[in-house]
Structure formats: C-alpha cells, structure tokens
Amino acid sequence: MAEASLGSTLHAGSVPGGPAGLFRQRGPGWDFIDLAALGDNRLRCYLIGLLRIVLYPLGFALIAGVAIGIAIAIPAALAHRPFPGIGPIPTLVLQFGSIAMVGVAVLRTVARTHHRPCLSVVAPDLLLDWRRLAIGLAVELALKLLLLLFAAAAGQVPGTPFAAMTAEQVALLGVALFLVPLQAASEEILFRGYLTQALGRILPSRCLIVAAIALLFGLLHLNNYGPVTLPYFLVLSLLYSLVSLRDGRLELAIGGHAAMNLFAVWLANAVSGEPGIPHAALTLNGAMLAILLIHGALFYALTRLLVRHFCHRRPAA
C-alpha cells in the first residue's frame, strides 16, 4: 500500500514529504531522489547516519592500524631491525578501506534506521545493474587511455614512462583492484545517493541539490590535493551527478569513478620506479579545465548511447 501510494504521488508530480500544496514539474532524476520517501526521514535518523559515517571509518582505521603496526613491528623486533614504516600497501588499505566503511555506514543506516531497502540509494528498481557498471568502467578507462596517449605523444608524461613494475608495485595494484571499486562505490553511495536524496527532502531544485553535493565533494578532497583543486572536483562532481540523475541510478557513476581511481593508481606506479598512491597536486588551468569539460561531455554521451543499446529500462520497485 505504501509503495502504491508513493507511485501515485510521483506520477501526480507532488513532492513526497514536502510542504502541503507544493508541486513541481517532474524531470529526470526525481524518481531516484524521491526514493527517500520510502523510509523514515526524521531528523534523528540523519543524525544517527552522520554519527555512523564518522565512527565507522575511524573504528576501521584504529583497528587496522593497530593490526598493521603489530604485524610490522613484531618481525622487525625479532630480527633486531628498526621499525620500517607501514609502506604503500598498508597505507592503501588504511586510506581506501576507511572510505569503503563509509559505504557500509550508509547502507546500514538506510536499512536499520531509515527502514527502507539498502539499494534504494542506488537504483529505483532496487537491483544492481552490472551492465551499467561495466559501461561506466569501460568508457572511463577508454577515455583515460586516449588522454594518456595524447599526453605521452606530447611529452607530458613525467618520470620514466611505463617502466617495468616491481613485485611490490604489482601487489599494490592487486590490492587496489579489490579496494578501489569499494571506495568509489562508497563515495557515490554517500554523495550521489544518500546525501542527494536527503537534500531532495528540503531543496526544491535539482540544480541546488547538485551544487550543494559538488561543494561538499570538493571540500572533502582538499586534504589530498590542496585548495587549487576545488574547481576540479566541483566539475567532476557535477558530471557524476548529471550522469546519475539523467540515468536515474548510480551504476554509471560508480563504474566511472572506480575506473578513474584505478587508472590513477596504475599510472602513479607505471611512470615511476617506486610503489605508491597518487597524491600529486593538481594545477587547474585553462587547458586542464577544457580537457575536463570535453572528457565529461564524452563520458555523458558515450554512456548514454551504450545504455540505450545494451540496457533495458526496468520499472521501479
């Protein structure tokens, strides 16, 4: 009965949970945003969610950090060697594993506190579309490889291009192949899923929702890349929000985000002789902004084209 009521409300063009008498012209993405109406949207639910989003990564970092420290310190002490530091692989586990726990916190909050299906923060039909994930991943990797070929031809690739990787670098990439997709999915579930739907309860415009999400997304990446990269992540967030709202689900954005981060980890190891995680500061200039805009337009157009050919639209649950 509740689902039928929600469906009739959406088709009537009203805003579930909004002020009485408030109606607006429905457009792409609203069916996804309004999935929040399936659950409990009291303020206390969002406060509990915020608490989980903060505590889960901290708890993971604490437990994993202690375990990694013990695993490194004990062999060093037995061998009478100085403490060697945690290295790039444990650093990757701590950094990306902590972010992956944000996704766990969001999904648990949606199910246990808001009392609605977990996948309602991903898709209206409450199903994960693996074809869309593959399309987002493949298109982003193809665009990144094309850009790399142009950069290499222009002599813009630093270091020793594509040197033979060491065993430690290969191991790092193996760990990244497991953790990076979880990290990317967690960020998309948080920003383009949970927070987008939450803001949809109080903001009447998709533009305002997307702008607020872009600002949050950019601010939370400042520690890694510095303040000059805020415009870069604003544009990146706008792209993923546009793609996800136009498609009415998150799989394309998750696939593209995972491909972008996997490519960055691979490139950081392929052009250098030392294993590591990419932390290079970005300098936003006219050329980079133009490349980012062209990249975004191509990603949007290609994913939309491929979805039309290979994915059948299923009704919302």
- C-alpha 312/C-alpha 299 separation (Å) is 20
Whole-angstrom Cα distance, residue 275 to residue 194? 34
DSSP letters along 148-159, please? HHHHHHTT---S
Select from 119, 123, 103 the least CA-distant residue to 52.
103
The DSSP result for 10-37, as a single string, is: HHHTB-TTS-TT-B----TTHHHHGGGG
Structural domain count of the chain: 1
Whether residue 316 lies inside any domain: the answer is no
pLDDT digits (tens, 9 = 90+) for 76-131: 666 666 666 678 888 889 999 999 999 999 999 999 999 999 999 999 999 999 99
Question: Is residue 315 in a domain?
Answer: no
Q: What average pLDDT does this structure show over 18-30?
A: 54
Q: How many CA atoms lie within 13 A of 169 on its CB side?
A: 18
pTM of the model: 0.85
In this predicted model, what pLDDT tens digit does every residue of 50-66 receive, in sequence order? 999 999 999 999 999 88
Count of H-run helices and E-run strands, the chain: 12, 0
Describe the crossing of helices 251-270 and 130-153 by its angle, rounded to 10 degrees. 40
Instruction: Look up residue 53 and give its amino acid.
Output: I
Residue 179: which residues within 8 A CB-CB, separation 6 or more?
Answer: 92, 93, 96, 97, 100
Summarised one tens digit per residue, pLDDT across range 267-313 is 877 766 666 677 644 555 667 777 888 899 999 999 999 999 988 66
CB 89 within 8 Å of CB 64: no
Range of the domain at 154: 2-310
Assess if residue 96 is contained within a domain.
yes
Does some domain include residue 317? no
Structure confidence at residue 225 (pLDDT): 59
103 in a structural domain? yes
